[in-house]
Chain A
Amino acid sequence: MLEDNMENRHCGCNSNCNQDCNMSCDCMNNNEEMSCACKNDLREEMMMQLRAYKFSIIELALYLDTHPDDEKALCLHREYAKKAKELADKYQKMFGPLTISYPCKKWRWLEEPWPWERGNF
């Protein structure tokens, strides 16, 4: 009975999710060859970089709210927004979703530690 219900949950969309799915992408395979400590170091390094980009975006956005005509700030904002997006995509492919918007084949949102746990990777 339960299995029947489970089977019915396949949506049948046949979508090819290789593009987005973190369980089947190349980088995940590479990761499995890395040692645990090495993986954590990389994860922390990437998160620090992502946090730096994101902080720059916040700071520039607040500045631009009161200085919307500052071309230099606008240019920097564009640059960091692009870098943050690229790195966020890469990070999420390797280590799992940072937001509930990230598409996954398996629901990995539950697996990732919360910011108040495990010192916030």
Chain B
Amino acid sequence: MAMGKGEFLMWSYTKALEYPVKIKCTNPRLAKFIISQYGGPDGELAASLRYLSQRFGMPDEKAKAILNDIGTEELAHLEMVGTIVHQLTNGVCPEELEKAGLGAYYTDHGIDVYPQSAAGVPFTASYIAAKGDPIANLQEDLAAEQKARATYEKLIDLCKDDPDVIEPLRFLRQREIVHFQRFGEALRGVQDKLAMKRFYMNDCNKMNDNKCNCLKEFNSVNNYNVCDSVCNCNNNR
């Protein structure tokens, strides 16, 4: 949420949440479950890193943009989930934390918010899929949004007694649905692009200009131009 003057930094932090979190009553038992959306397999950290990592291999401008912008919004959601966990446990004494099943957590992390699943498994990069294949990646992203939506629904079921917690969770659930919609549109765009007669994954113009020496060698050894058969880059010569 960058705004105001001089906001042309990537990324810039704004001291405000995308949706307000104002929890009046602590409830460490709920915090233990909700922390899964911070650092669990379908959590916001995994979502953000998944999308931001997949941008680099996308052949389509729309797909790059949507991965960039949803990946950025997920960081705002990470901040919201961290805030929920903090407010649910803020000021709770160690005895109460232990009763809520957070004794081991308190031992290792105190009152910090540590990225882990509801079962206590620490965050791992294996939650992130970046396959180097635009179709596989976007299908992965569609599934990831549905899994996150399903997780939020389970959390809402567990939080029935506290509207202060349910409201932001409902907002986050709704965002997963919008993201799913946008990824679906991006996937169709990529499929259309791949179906074009002349298409190549990497930019041949750049490769021939100066970047890739091995391609030049390959061309001369094989006495033909790799690019000629698939793209229009011979226009430059």
Contacts and interface: CB of A to CB of B under 8 A. Distances in A.
Contacts of A58: 18, 69, 73
B19 A51 contact: yes
Contacts of B87: 116, 119
Given A114-B15, A120-B83, A62 B4 contact: no
Interface string B21-44: 110000000000000000000000
A48 B182 CA distance: 26
Contacts of B14: 98-99
A84 interface: yes
A50 to B, nearest CB: 7
B47 to A, nearest CB: 14
A85 B15 contact: no
A59 interface: yes
B178 A66 contact: no
Contacts of A119: 20-22, 87
Given A66-B189, A119-B22, A120-B21, A101 B178 contact: no
Contacts of B182: 62-63, 65-66
Interface in B174-190: 178-179, 182, 185-186, 189
A99 to B, nearest CB: 5
Contacts of A97: 4, 15
25 contacts: A50-B16, A51-B16, A54-B18, A65-B65, A65-B69, A66-B186, A67-B185, A88-B4, A89-B5, A98-B15, A99-B7, A99-B12, A99-B13, A99-B15, A100-B13, A101-B5, A101-B6, A102-B5, A113-B15, A114-B15, A115-B16, A115-B21, A116-B87, A119-B21, A120-B16
Given A66-B186, A99-B3, A102-B5, 12 more contacts: A51-B18, A54-B18, A62-B70, A65-B182, A89-B4, A98-B4, A99-B14, A101-B4, A102-B4, A115-B16, A116-B83, A119-B20
Interface of B: 1-7, 9, 12-22, 62, 65-66, 69-70, 73, 79, 82-83, 86-87, 178-179, 182, 185-186, 189
Interface of A: 20, 47-48, 50-51, 54-55, 58-59, 61-63, 65-68, 84-85, 88-89, 92, 97-103, 112-116, 119-121
